[in-house]
Amino acid sequence: MRRYGSAFLALVVISCASKNEGDKSATHTIKLKGDPALGKSLTIKSASTMEFTILVKGPDGKVHERKQHEQDVNVYTLTALAVEGDKATKYKRVYDKAEKLNDGVLIPFPYQGRTVVYTHKDGKWDLTGEGNPPLSQHDIAHLIKNANHKHHLQNKDFEPLGPVKIGETWKLDVKKVGQGFGPELDDLDLEKCHAEGKLVKVFDKDGAKFGVMEFTINLAVKRMKEITFETPMSFEITVTLDTAIDASTSAGKMTMKGTMKGNGVMGPQEKKIQLEMNANLKGDEEQSAEQ
């Protein structure tokens, strides 16, 4: 349930408490901390931005341009209410901020300022909203759909299988990672996809062993929802993660940046619509130590 990984990114230089990059000849076993312990809480602050331009050519041959700028901001405290092994089976989120900026218009989500309780039972998540007025069935369905996204990424999906040195890279399961960025990325040309991690730096901070890791993900998307791409859409993401690599603390920061480019079509042949898509995405997230 580690929250890192809910956005997109290019290389970022992160300032660290220590300038020592560590012994480059030493190997390091990377283990990321997962869910908080029973009764413990952590605070998550995240922001993501997407700017896109779509050129749409309809059956009549006319071309229309659509531009949009979106920004999501979330600040919430997560508390584990029930735990099995190292995973929370029930937790609550207290949202201090949950809002979207859409082309300059600020839109608060209905759960801003609210508490939402998630419970895992019979292999799926369910949720309830505390307080009044009750969350609408539409809002609950939206949150449940996100919680039950079958391709949620776990810490182990980014950890190397064995010890690595500073500067060393390791392969990621590109299909699992690609689908983890959204259920709409449901058809990939795997031969043209690539995903790897790299250990950039290791240092000591607050009694823990920290590391900076960079993840480069290049996806070739053949289909996204109703859109089929004539040539696979290019989706390039770079993620930089600065956190403990000894699973001693959940404190850390993540930045992401990426691009999407492709030409596609949608609709039946007699009503076929052609689209040219260009999008820039970026995000950052900060997670506290559990308390």
Scan for tokens 């029973």, then name that residue: 38
The contacts of residue 229 (CB under 8 Å, 6+ apart) are 221, 222, 223, 262, 263, 264
- Entry pTM: 0.84
Q: What is the mean pLDDT of residues 106-134?
A: 91
Q: What is the mean pLDDT of the chain?
A: 86
Higher-pLDDT residue of 179 and 23 is 179
DSSP state of 5: T
- H/E segment holding residue 144: helix 137-147
pLDDT tens-place string over residues 180-194: 776 566 688 999 999
- H/E segment holding residue 145: helix 137-147
- Token pair, residue 38, equals 């029973």
Q: Does residue 215 register a pLDDT over 70?
A: yes
Question: What gap in Å lies between CA 48 and CA 258, rounded to an integer?
Answer: 11
